[in-house]
Amino acid sequence: MAINYLICDWNGTLIGFSSEKPLFEAIGKAIYKSAIPFNVPKLIRMQRGKSQMDELGKQWGREKDIGLIQEIFSIFNNSFIEGTPVTKILGYIDKYAVSDFVQGKLQKGLLNIVKEFSLQGKGTAIFSAACKYPIEKVVQNAGYDRYFDFIEADEIHAENGRTIGFGLNIYGRKPELLDEIIKQRSINPDELAYIADSEDEGGCFERIKYPIVSLIASDKVKNMFSREYNAFVPENIEDLDNYLKKA
């Protein structure tokens, strides 16, 4: 049966970042600069928060430690962005999304495969525990937004025009949420290819017929997914393109 739907993860798959750290750093630096020199209490709070995040970041390799990720998000939200006007946060993200640094990390080969899929009338999507708005802006600035049927990712929470924080409602729940996506959008899992890179994607791979490991995943992840889930491990973008066409 042919592959008629292609879903891609974001960090580590469509873009060469392993986490939201570059996004957090860009926003944090912008907010810090805006507080200089007068808002001393906020500057101290941000400095303390950065030190705490740096210490936790040393443990980042524990990919399945949801508590660690939650703590990092909580510190960032509370120390940096809580109470900031949403328009400012979105403005910082807009500058981040168009930067050469971020655009240069996009995996254009895979994005072109997505484009080809879409132009053939097949389904395409992004499914990620990252934040939705930055994903939308990055792919929009690169000219690929029209080739995705939908983007399922986390939201920025706000109230009365002020930011509460970045949500973390997808991380650790992707297999169950993938079930919901498949059901709600009437996607046939026997026609679905899913490309991802991190160790916690195994539950998603179990639910579909065509699990594929990201080209930029670590060798550890490639070996594990190949062994445990019989996932396809492409050698290069041409190998991936051929697999998707012939599977």
Label residue 233 left, alpha or beta by phi (over 0 means left) and psi (-120 to 50 means alpha): beta
Q: What is the DSSP letter of 8?
A: E
Closest of 12, 239, 238 to residue 107, by C-alpha? 12
Q: What's the pLDDT band for 62 if we cut at 50, 70, 90?
A: very low
Q: Distance between CA atoms of 202 and 238, rounded to whole angstroms?
A: 25
Q: Is the pLDDT of residue 41 over 70?
A: yes
Give me the pLDDT at residue 64, please. Answer: 52
What is the model's pLDDT at position 1? 61
For 127-185, the pLDDT digits (tens) are 999 999 999 999 999 999 999 999 999 999 999 999 999 999 998 899 999 999 999 99
Q: Which of 47-56, 92-101, 148-157 has the lowest mean pLDDT?
A: 47-56
- Which pLDDT does position 61 carry in this prediction? 56
List, in sequence order, every residue forming a beta bridge with 127; answer none if it has no partner. 152
**Distance (Å, rounded) from C-alpha 210 to C-alpha 19?**
24
Helix or strand or coil: residue 16?
Answer: coil
Nearest to 103 by CA among 115, 95, 91, 114: 95
Residue 57 has pLDDT above 50, yes or no: yes
Which residue ranges form the domains of the chain, and what is each CATH number? 5-17+105-246 (3.40.50.1000), 21-101 (no CATH)
Token pair recorded at residue 44? 């101290």
Q: Which long-range contacts (CB under 8 A, 24 or more apart) does 136-140 make?
A: 137/93, 137/94, 137/96, 137/97, 137/98, 138/15, 138/97, 138/102, 138/103, 138/106, 139/14, 139/106, 139/111, 140/97
Helix, strand, coil share (%) of the chain residues, nearest 5 = 55, 15, 30
Mean pLDDT of the chain: 92
Q: Is the previous residue joined to 234 through a cis bond, with omega within 30 degrees of 0?
A: no
Measured between its terminal Cα atoms, the distance across the chain in Å is 7
To 10 degrees, what angle do helices 86-98 and 21-35 make?
120
Nearest to 153 by CA among 176, 172, 170: 170
SS3 assignment, position 133 = helix
CA–CA gap between residue 111 and residue 128 (Å, rounded): 15
pTM, rounded to two decimals: 0.92
**Distances from the Cα of 232 to the Cαs of 128, 203, 244, in angstroms?**
20, 16, 10
Note the pLDDT tens digit of each residue in 197-214.
Answer: 988 899 999 999 999 999
**1 is written with which tokens?**
């049966």
